[in-house]
Amino acid sequence: MSCNQPSPWHHSCQQQDILSTTPAHLQPVLKSVFSDLEFCTAETVGLPPEALILYLHIHNYLPCILLCLDMNGTIVSVNQFGASCLGYKPQELIDKPIFNLFASSEQQRLSEVLIGLLEESSTGKVSRWEFPLDCPGSKMDWVRVMAQVLHPGENSPVIMMVCEDITAQKQAEAALAQFQKASQEQFKEMQTVNHLKEEFLSTISHELRTPLTNMKMAIQMLSIILNQEQNMLSELSKPQIEGSKAARYFQILTSECDREINLINNFLDLQRLETSIKPIILEKIKLQEWLVRVVNAFSAKKNCSDKEVQVSVEANLPPFSCDPFSLEKIIIEMLTNACKFSPKGEKIIVKAESLSQKIQLQVTNTGVEIPPAELPRIFEKFYRIPSNDFWKRGGTGLGLALVQKLTHRMGGTIKVESGSNRTCFTIQFPMEIRV
C-alpha cells in the first residue's frame, strides 16, 4: 500500500463520531475548544482524526496539571498526567469539587477568587494565585494556579485551570524565612551580649582602676616620704646591686603597679573597640610638632634612657586630619614595644613622611629580629614571642593587638618587617580619613 494512500483505519475514523469516541472526562475539553459542537466529526472539525488523537494524547500527558471546571467549581475534566501528580486516577476526580484538592484553610479563598474570575470573565484575563494542596497521595504541597474562563457569556462557561508545582520554591522560601528569623534573633542576642559586655567593662573599669589609682597615689606619697627620710631618689639612681633593699622593693612596687595599670587600660580599650562602634573625632594636627612632642614626652616618662630615640619628619608635611588620641596611643605602644625588646645602646627611629597621597609612619628598632615564623601572630591578643628566658618575655601581649585595631579603625594599614638585625613597623593612613 502506498504511503500516500489513506489507510482503512483512517477511513473508519472519518466515519466515526469523534466526540462519541473520546473518553467522557475529555469531552468537555473538546467542547471548550469547539464550543458549538453537538455532534463532532472529522469533517466538521476540519482536522484529520490523527490530529485530534494527537491533541488528546498531548492533553493527557502534558507535564502539568490541566483541569476544566464548571461554574460551580466542579471538575469536569483532568488530564492523565495531572491526576497522577495529584495522587488520583482521572475518573476519581471527575464530578468532584475542586476545593477538595486544597487545604481546608484556603478553600474559602479559592471560592472567592473563582467567583471573581467568573465576574470578570468578559476581560479574558488569565489570573494567577498560589495555594497549598491537601492531596494525601501527592508529593506536591504547593501549586501556582493559572486560570481563565473559556467562552464567557454562555450558559455554561468553562474554567480552564493549569497548576504548576512550586513545592520546592515554597520550601526554599520557608527555609529562608526561618533563617532570617533565626538571624534576627541571633542579632538581638548579640546586641544584648554586647550591651552586657559594655556594662561589665564599665563596672570592671571602675572596680579595677579605682584601687590601682589609689595604690599609685599611695606609692607617690610614699616616694615623697622616703625621699625625705632616706634620700630615696639618690638610692633609685644607683645601680641595682649598689642601692638599698628599700629602694629595690620600691622600684618593683612602682613598675609592677604601672604594668597592671597599663594592662587594664589596654584590655579595656581593646574590648571597647571590639564591642562598640563609636564615631572618630577628627582633628587637624601639624605632624612635625605633634610627633616630636609625643616622642619627647614618652622618652622623659619611660625608662628608655639606655636607647637612642630619634625622630625624623619630612619637611612641609600638610596638616594631617586624624584622631589625635588614638594616634598617640598607637605611637606610645609602638615605642613601648621597641624599648622593651631593644638591647641596651641600640637605636629607635620614628619616621613620618608623605607617600602616594598617604601619611606613612615608621617605628624601627635595631639590635633585634623577630623570627619569620612568629611574624603572622604578633598582632594576636595575649600573644608573646617565645623565649628561653621566661623573665625576658615581659608584657601582656595586648599592645600590638591594640595598635592594629586602632589603625584599622582610622582606615589605615600596618605591617612589620624584620631582618638584618632590625625590626620595622610601618603604618599608612589615607591623607583624608573618612568617618
Region 293-307 average pLDDT: 80
Q: Is the pLDDT of residue 183 over 90?
A: yes
Whose CA is closest to 75, among 66, 63, 84? 66
CA distance 93 to 59: 16
Region 317-328 average pLDDT: 88
pLDDT value at residue 330: 92
CA distance 237 to 221: 18
- ∠130-136-141 over CA atoms, to 5°? 25
DSSP string, 361-418: EEEEEES----GGGGGGTTSTT-----SSGGG--S-S-HHHHHHHHHHHTT-EEEEEE
Region 408-416 average pLDDT: 90
pLDDT value at residue 46: 56
The burial class, CB within 10 Å (0-12 / 13-18 / 19+), for 148 is middle
Per mean pLDDT, which range of 125-129, 155-159, 321-325, 344-348 is the poorest?
155-159
Whose CA is closest to 76, among 99, 56, 98, 94? 94
* Grid cell for residue 69: 471546571
Per cent of the chain over pLDDT 70 is 79
Q: How confident is the model at residue 242 (pLDDT cuts 50, 70, 90)?
A: low
Q: Is the pLDDT of residue 220 over 90?
A: no
Contact 409, 280 (CB under 8 A): yes
Region 396-410 average pLDDT: 85
CA distance 324 to 209: 23
Q: Is the pLDDT of residue 297 over 70?
A: yes
CA distance 309 to 245: 31
Q: How confident is the model at residue 251 (pLDDT cuts 50, 70, 90)?
A: confident
Q: Is the pLDDT of residue 379 over 70?
A: yes
pLDDT value at residue 236: 65
CA distance 255 to 259: 6
CA distance 308 to 348: 6
Segment 100-120, tens digit of pLDDT:
999 999 999 999 999 888 888
**Residue 133 — φ and ψ, nearest 5°?**
-90, 165
pLDDT value at residue 47: 59
Contact 68, 158 (CB under 8 A): yes
Q: How confident is the model at residue 247 (pLDDT cuts 50, 70, 90)?
A: confident
**Residue 143 — φ and ψ, nearest 5°?**
-135, 150
Whose CA is closest to 290, among 309, 317, 269, 265? 317
pLDDT value at residue 282: 84
pTM of the predicted model over 0.85 = no
Between residues 359 and 381, the one the model is more confident about: 359
Q: How confident is the model at residue 81 (pLDDT cuts 50, 70, 90)?
A: very high
CA distance 272 to 402: 11
Q: How confident is the model at residue 303 (pLDDT cuts 50, 70, 90)?
A: low
Q: What is the mean pLDDT of the chain?
A: 79
Q: Is the pLDDT of residue 41 over 70?
A: no
Helices 324-341, 287-301: inter-axial angle, 10-degree rounding? 50
